Chain A
Amino acid sequence: RFSQNFREVAGRFLVSEASTHLLVFGMEQRLPPNSELVQAVLRLFQEPLPRAALRRHERPTPRSARARVTIEWLRVRDDGSNRTALIDSRLVSIHESGWKAFDVTEAVNFWQQLSRPRQPLLLQVSVQREHLGPGASGAHRLVRFGAQGARGEPQLELHTLDLKDYGAQGNCDPEAPVTEGTRCCRQETYLDLQGMTWAENWVLEPPGFLTYECVGSCLQPPEALTFKWPFLGPRQCIASETASLPMIVRMKEGGRTRAQVVSLPNMRVQKCSCASDGALVPRGLEP
């Protein structure tokens, strides 16, 4: 999960009898402006097993029987086709009842990347058998979740931080010295390449360039929140957006030299932000 290095692998349906529910959440005005989404939790209420259904089931269901619940983000594209992205998946005991929590932060991140007017947040909940294969039981069909609009309806919790308090400020004030109390900001400096021996006779452009550094500190969430989000490290002032730096250098080819353009990635800081290690690295939305 949460890795940009792995892409879902398309596969064929071998067994296609998962019971699937589609949840629809209107999201407009839900996320406060200028806020950072730290976590989104979907809570589903698993209904107690009806005794009668258990008796009707073709064979006894062991206490240890489980079902796999999978949450996918569903996106309806302009051409009417659907795309899904796996968000969370875990096993639940068939015999247990009560609220089950699923981390759907990435689904809300995807939704935030949609162009306006945005469709509601569509979450597809599938309940599948724990194991595949001839001997697998169909007990997963006994798992029921409270539907929307009924008692125990699904809940979507959005946990955000107000960037007015926990965010960075744009560029540093050039007049004010950076101290411990300075809030995370982008500080401008100038890198003079002409003074560098290695650049002599080699770098033709630029003679130097404005470079930026992220300095200052970030407000840390209160202990109650860090306890709630144990997976988050301290908030740090980091370069959240960078840009490349083009240069013109001299290249030797045979007995002659020629000018060549080269672009150095991630060389210029465009934006500084307060961010935590462990926070979700948003996956880009496919076009």
Chain B
Amino acid sequence: LSGEQVLDSLLKQLQLDQPPVLDGDAAEGLAIPAHVRAQYVALLQHSHADHSRGK
């Protein structure tokens, strides 16, 4: 698994053509709301095994 594959999958999921241009300062100040973090943690804990169809 490479960084490029993660980027491709992320762009596909968010239906974007390229990564958004965001300024760094805003990123520093952005706190992750509790409900978003709770959703993230729940997904992390419950990520299910999907049967891959092989190659």
Interface residues in chain A, defined as those with a beta carbon under 8 Å from any beta carbon in chain B = 4, 189, 191, 193, 196, 198-205, 211, 213, 236, 238-252, 257-268, 270-271, 275, 277, 279, 281, 284
Given A250-B27, A259-B33, A262-B10, A241 contacting B3 (CB threshold 8 A)? no
Contact with A along B3-22 (1 / 0, CB 8 A): 10011011001100001101
- Nearest Cβ distance between residue B27 and chain A, in whole angstroms? 4
Cα-based distance from A199 to B51 in the complex (angstroms): 29
Given A211-B1, A244-B47, A260 contacting B36 (CB threshold 8 A)? yes
Q: Is the CB of A270 within 8 A of B49?
A: yes
Q: Is the CB of A191 within 8 A of B32?
A: no
Q: Is the CB of B22 within 8 A of A252?
A: yes
Closest to A205 in B: B40
Q: Is the CB of B6 within 8 A of A275?
A: no
Cα-based distance from A127 to B37 in the complex (angstroms): 60
Closest to A239 in B: B52
Cα-based distance from A284 to B52 in the complex (angstroms): 12
Cα-based distance from A277 to B55 in the complex (angstroms): 8
Which of B23, B24, B33, B52: most chain A CB closer than 10 A?
Answer: B52
Q: Is the CB of B47 within 8 A of A245?
A: yes
**Chain B residues within an 8 Å CB radius of A242:** 49-50, 52
**Chain B residues within an 8 Å CB radius of A238:** 52, 54-55
Given A259-B30, A264-B13, A244 contacting B50 (CB threshold 8 A)? yes
**Chain A residues within an 8 Å CB radius of B49:** 241-243, 270-271
Q: Is the CB of A241 within 8 A of B50?
A: yes
Q: Is the CB of B32 within 8 A of A267?
A: no
- Nearest Cβ distance between residue B12 and chain A, in whole angstroms? 9
Q: Is the CB of A248 within 8 A of B36?
A: yes
**Chain A residues within an 8 Å CB radius of B44:** 246
Q: Is the CB of B13 within 8 A of A267?
A: no
Closest to B42 in A: A246
The 8 tightest CB contacts between A and B, nearest first, are: A246-B43, A201-B27, A241-B49, A243-B47, A264-B9, A211-B1, A201-B22, A270-B49
Q: Is the CB of A252 within 8 A of B20?
A: yes
- Nearest Cβ distance between residue B5 and chain A, in whole angstroms? 8
- Nearest Cβ distance between residue A173 and chain B, in whole angstroms? 21
**Chain B residues within an 8 Å CB radius of A248:** 32, 36-37, 40
Q: Is the CB of B10 within 8 A of A264?
A: yes
Q: Is the CB of B51 within 8 A of A241?
A: yes
**Chain A residues within an 8 Å CB radius of B2:** 191
